[in-house]
Amino acid sequence: MDTRGNRNALFLSLATIVLCTFFFIWQNSATVSNAQSVGIEYIFDFVPDAATLATLPATGSTFYIQGKMYNFRTVNMATCEFTRASPKSVGTWRAWGTVADEGRVVLNLSMVGDFGTIELQGVSGIPSAANSATPAIPGMQGPPFTGPTELLSIVGGTGAYKGLNGEGQVRSYCSDPSRPFRYDRPFCVQFLQACCTRKG
């Protein structure tokens, strides 16, 4: 009888240990999963309607630019041409601001589509340390280039992107790495989310 009781007690102890271990692993997995939901990335291609800032106005001049948004890889980063005929736009982007010194611009960048809106702002020519200019054609050592990546702050969003904040990584296509990007040619923006997961 005592032996059977001891076995039952041992079994109960082992079951308790296993159950506690399971919940510990599950809780840590959930924590890691939640942590990985931070920093979710979205990326789109952008094409200006006109090369408004190809020639930069005097410092202090204001400007306005607009164009269309497309799904990523709709634009060939080496040629700045569409990769297929008549691609479908997923939204409109508008940028406005002031010409700054050293060939830079201070701007607000607003994106509008069925998804809602995304808002960015900052100064052009703020580089990402980890994403310098690279040849747009694999295996080539010279032009055409893509990048370098420049950084803008995500300051808000609505709809599917309600509560969005973080960092917008702007990377120009068929680019000139010798000067700050002026939004005068196609580019992509990768949104690195600091908090809040996209809805839908």
Task: Between 58 and 9, name the one with better pLDDT.
Answer: 58
**pLDDT digit string, tens, across residues 165-190:** 899 999 999 988 887 788 989 999 99
Per-residue pLDDT band for 12 (boundaries 50, 70, 90) equals: low
**Whose CA is closest to 186, among 31, 67, 111, 80?**
80
Report pLDDT for 54.
80
pTM: 0.74
Q: What is the DSSP string of 39-93?
A: T-EEEEEEEESS-TTSS---TT-EEEEEEEEEETTSB-TTT-SBSSSSPPP-EEE
Q: What percent of the chain has pLDDT over 70?
A: 76
Per-residue pLDDT band for 8 (boundaries 50, 70, 90) equals: low
Fold category of 39-195 in CATH: AOC barrel-like (2.40.480)
Q: Is 189 helix (H, G, I), strand (E, B) or coil?
A: strand
- Residue partners of 38: CB distance under 8 A and separation at least 6: 193, 194, 195
Please, what is the average pLDDT of the chain?
80
CB 25: neighbour CB atoms within 10 A? Answer: 10
**pLDDT digit string, tens, across residues 13-45:** 544 444 444 333 333 333 223 323 345 567 999
Contact 70, 87 (CB under 8 A): yes
Q: What is the identity of the amino acid at 40? A: I
Per-residue pLDDT band for 55 (boundaries 50, 70, 90) equals: confident
CA pair distance 35, 37, nearest whole angstrom: 5
Contact 168, 151 (CB under 8 A): yes
Please state the rounded mean pLDDT for residues 49-76.
Answer: 92
**pLDDT digit string, tens, across residues 140-149:** 888 888 888 9
Task: Between 59 and 126, name the one with better pLDDT.
Answer: 59
**Whose CA is closest to 93, among 158, 183, 197, 193?**
183
Report pLDDT for 31.
28
